[in-house]
């Protein structure tokens, strides 16, 4: 059990972070013991180290259970008692028939990120604890046999970048839940118990109950394994980033080129680099399967090899290994929507009324009629890549492509490193950042970490 005297000293938990540069922090508070402890510890920490930083508590009412609105108001009352600003945000969108937990989670982070934006900050604090971390890695270890990709065993990172813009920071990852509850009991603070946390039809409550019956040793082992997996994941990410930096170029929009000697690089790092580049080129929702990427990597050493993986055509030739979005299953023509991500590859920004505009894939016929700049790539590949890029039309009249970083009739499309990076854990920042630089995507904001830690986010 963690022995830190957090009843008087939040320092050991918070010293990883540097919030002084932020105008405000948003604390995500459900009212449960973890997030309530987070709120009070953060308040103490800011009072001591950064009194100018505003603390705002936000509760998301998912409106999935009767009574959820009342609970949010209970959190409001606790915050009022402590003089902390508090907002309640309600998930009002349509609820899916299946996959409610995942949809609710995404909606919650979107609402929290929106609240952070309104407060002029890019940091959301959550109350994830060491117990949550142990549950996460043990659940993932249970599923690993099927997938064999050990990245997930690293668990949750201290900081995770959400949608490329907002940091989710987890100061309590080193604290045990019971220690936090002792802290609250000492302060005579009551917390709310969420019935979903003990509903054993869900995987996490089942794991939580199983762990509760065990001794602490299983949790300690899981945490040590997670720390070592995180170290390995970060190191592999840095090696992959180095390979991307030295071997990858972006000769023309939509086409990534790897120098031929990439095929001779150390397989573990090269396969990881390849998966990340496939994620960027194809825009698929997840990184490609590890085993399939290993098979492709083993074959790109052949002088002529062509395969499709994860919506991406991999075309290995004498001039290099080229990656581009395959022509199948591109989005149907539709009006551009503000902040939507087109085909998992371009985030749209729509300023004017775009009602009469249509966004559609360029298509091969149109790509063939356009000039191809002199590029370090075969013209046929440059055209095939261009055919998959978004074009803007108005009533059958072609207006232009969205690959240039300028607004066209109030619409622009900024490249993104791919949906796999929607929640980007700190361990993966290095390969994601170098990929962003390669394809012209926005670079990530500085993480809210103390200087000596930030370089290793």
Per rule CB under 6 A, is residue 166 in the interface with ligand ATP? no
Q: How far is the CB of 347 from ligand ATP (least distance, A)?
A: 22
- Under 8 Å between Cβ of 209 and 200: yes
> Dihedral through CA 205, CA 77, CA 72, CA 54, nearest 10?
-90
Output DSSP code: residue 405.
Answer: S
Q: Find, among 251, 262, 284, the residue nearest to 385 by Cα.
A: 251
Per rule CB under 6 A, is residue 59 in the interface with ligand ATP? yes
Query: Residue 147: in which H helix or E strand, if any?
Result: helix 130-147
Near ligand ATP by CB under 6 A: residue from 10, 19, 35, 256: 35
- Under 8 Å between Cβ of 444 and 433: yes
β-pair type (24-28, 320-325)? unpaired
Tell me if 455 is assigned to a ligand binding site.
Answer: no
What are phi and psi for residue 123, nearest 5 degrees? -125, 125
CA 398 to CA 390: how far, in whole Å? 11
Per rule CB under 6 A, is residue 34 in the interface with ligand ATP? yes
Q: By Cβ distance, which residue is nearest to ligand ATP?
A: 127
Residue 135 or 343: the one with the smaller Cβ distance to ligand ATP is 135
CB atoms within 10 A of CB 278: 25
Per rule CB under 6 A, is residue 119 in the interface with ligand ATP? no
Q: How far is the CB of 192 from ligand ATP (least distance, A)?
A: 10
Per rule CB under 6 A, is residue 277 in the interface with ligand ATP? no
Residue 30 or 312: the one with the smaller Cβ distance to ligand ATP is 30
Residue 69 or 335: the one with the smaller Cβ distance to ligand ATP is 69
Tell me if 407 is assigned to a ligand binding site.
Answer: no
Per rule CB under 6 A, is residue 160 in the interface with ligand ATP? no
Query: From its phi and psi, is residue 275 left (phi > 0), alpha (psi between -120 and 50) or beta?
Result: alpha
CB atoms within 10 A of CB 322: 24
Q: Which residue has the tokens 């920490």?
A: 45
Per rule CB under 6 A, is residue 28 in the interface with ligand ATP? yes
Output DSSP code: residue 261.
Answer: G
Per rule CB under 6 A, is residue 105 in the interface with ligand ATP? yes
Using CA atoms, how far residue 191 sits from 77, 78, 275, 323, 360, in Å, is: 12, 9, 43, 52, 51
CB atoms within 10 A of CB 356: 10
CA 124 to CA 83: how far, in whole Å? 19
Residue 194 or 268: the one with the smaller Cβ distance to ligand ATP is 194
CA 51 to CA 301: how far, in whole Å? 58
Q: Exposed, middle or buried by CB within 10 Å (0-12, 13-18, 19+), for 124?
A: buried
Cβ partners under 8 Å of residue 159, min gap 6:
167, 168, 169, 170, 426, 447, 448, 449, 457
Per rule CB under 6 A, is residue 280 in the interface with ligand ATP? no
Near ligand ATP by CB under 6 A: residue from 16, 42, 121, 126: 126
Q: Which residue has the tokens 């959400």?
A: 162
Tell me if 339 is assigned to a ligand binding site.
Answer: no
Per rule CB under 6 A, is residue 128 in the interface with ligand ATP? yes
Residue 378 or 419: the one with the smaller Cβ distance to ligand ATP is 419
Per rule CB under 6 A, is residue 133 in the interface with ligand ATP? no
Q: How far is the CB of 108 from ligand ATP (least distance, A)?
A: 6
Q: Find, among 5, 89, 80, the residue nearest to 41 by Cα.
A: 5
Tell me if 32 is assigned to a ligand binding site.
Answer: yes
Which region among 57-65, 210-218, 410-418, 437-445 touches ligand ATP (by CB under 6 A)?
Answer: 57-65
Which region among 7-15, 127-135, 296-304, 433-441 touches ligand ATP (by CB under 6 A)?
Answer: 127-135
Q: How far is the CB of 393 from ligand ATP (least distance, A)?
A: 40
Which region among 16-24, 40-48, 55-63, 449-457 touches ligand ATP (by CB under 6 A)?
Answer: 55-63
CA 20 to CA 334: how far, in whole Å? 44
Per rule CB under 6 A, is residue 181 in the interface with ligand ATP? no
Tell me if 30 is assigned to a ligand binding site.
Answer: yes
Per rule CB under 6 A, is residue 131 in the interface with ligand ATP? no
In the region spanning residues 297 to 326, those forming contacts with ligand ATP, defined by CB under 6 A, are: none
Near ligand ATP by CB under 6 A: residue from 10, 127, 254, 282: 127
Q: How far is the CB of 372 from ligand ATP (least distance, A)?
A: 45
- Under 8 Å between Cβ of 296 and 307: yes
Q: Which residue has the tokens 């994620």?
A: 279
Which region among 120-128, 183-191, 219-227, 398-406 touches ligand ATP (by CB under 6 A)?
Answer: 120-128
Q: How far is the CB of 422 from ligand ATP (least distance, A)?
A: 12
Which region among 29-37, 260-268, 279-287, 367-375 touches ligand ATP (by CB under 6 A)?
Answer: 29-37
Q: Which residue has the tokens 């108001």?
A: 73
Near ligand ATP by CB under 6 A: residue from 16, 30, 42, 133: 30
Binding-site annotation, residues: 30-35
Binding-site annotation, residues for ATP: 30-35
- Where along the sequence are the contacts to ligand ATP (CB under 6 A)? 28-30, 34-35, 58-60, 105, 108, 126-128, 132
């Amino acid at each position: 059990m963690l022995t830190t005297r957090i009843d008087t000293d939040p320092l050991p938990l918070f010293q990883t972070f540097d919030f002084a540069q932020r105008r405000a922090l948003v604390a995500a508070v459900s009212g449960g013991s973890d997030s309530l402890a987070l709120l009070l510890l953060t308040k103490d920490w800011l009072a001591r180290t950064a009194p100018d930083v505003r603390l705002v508590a936000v509760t998301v009412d998912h409106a999935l259970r009767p009574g959820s609105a009342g609970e949010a108001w209970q959190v409001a009352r606790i915050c009022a008692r402590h003089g902390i600003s508090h907002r309640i945000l309600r998930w009002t969108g349509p609820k899916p028939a299946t996959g409610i937990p995942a949809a609710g989670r995404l909606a919650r982070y979107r609402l929290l990120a929106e609240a952070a934006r309104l407060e002029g900050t890019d940091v959301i604090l959550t109350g994830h604890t060491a117990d949550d971390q142990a549950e996460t890695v043990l659940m993932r270890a249970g599923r690993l046999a099927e997938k064999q990709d050990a990245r997930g065993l690293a668990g949750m990172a201290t900081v995770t970048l959400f949608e490329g813009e907002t940091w989710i920071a987890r100061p309590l990852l080193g604290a045990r839940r019971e220690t936090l509850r002792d802290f609250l009991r000492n302060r005579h603070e009551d917390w709310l118990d969420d019935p979903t946390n003990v509903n054993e039809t869900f995987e996490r409550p089942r794991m939580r109950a199983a762990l509760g019956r065990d001794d602490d040793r299983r949790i300690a082992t899981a945490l040590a394994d997670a720390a070592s997996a995180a170290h390995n994941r970060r190191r592999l990410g840095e090696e992959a980033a180095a390979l991307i930096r030295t071997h990858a170029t972006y000769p023309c929009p939509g086409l990534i080129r790897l120098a031929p000697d990439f095929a001779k690089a150390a397989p573990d790092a090269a396969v990881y680099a390849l998966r990340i580049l496939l994620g960027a080129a194809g825009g698929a929702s997840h990184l490609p399967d590890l085993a399939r990427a290993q098979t492709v990597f083993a074959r790109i050493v052949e002088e002529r090899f062509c395969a499709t993986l994860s919506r991406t055509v991999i075309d290995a030739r004498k001039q290099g290994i080229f990656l581009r979005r395959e022509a199948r299953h591109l989005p149907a023509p539709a009006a551009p929507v503000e902040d939507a991500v087109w085909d998992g590859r371009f985030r749209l920004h729509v300023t004017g009324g775009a009602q009469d505009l249509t966004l559609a894939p360029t298509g091969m016929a149109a790509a063939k009629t356009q000039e191809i700049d002199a590029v370090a790539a075969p013209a046929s590949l440059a055209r095939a890549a261009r055919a998959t890029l978004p074009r803007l039309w108005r009533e059958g009249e072609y207006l232009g492509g969205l690959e240039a970083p300028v607004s066209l009739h109030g619409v622009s499309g900024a490249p993104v490193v791919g949906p796999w990076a929607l929640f980007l854990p700190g361990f993966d920042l290095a390969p994601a950042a170098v990929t962003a630089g390669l394809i012209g995507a926005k670079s990530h904001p500085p993480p809210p970490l103390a200087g000596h830690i930030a370089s290793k986010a």
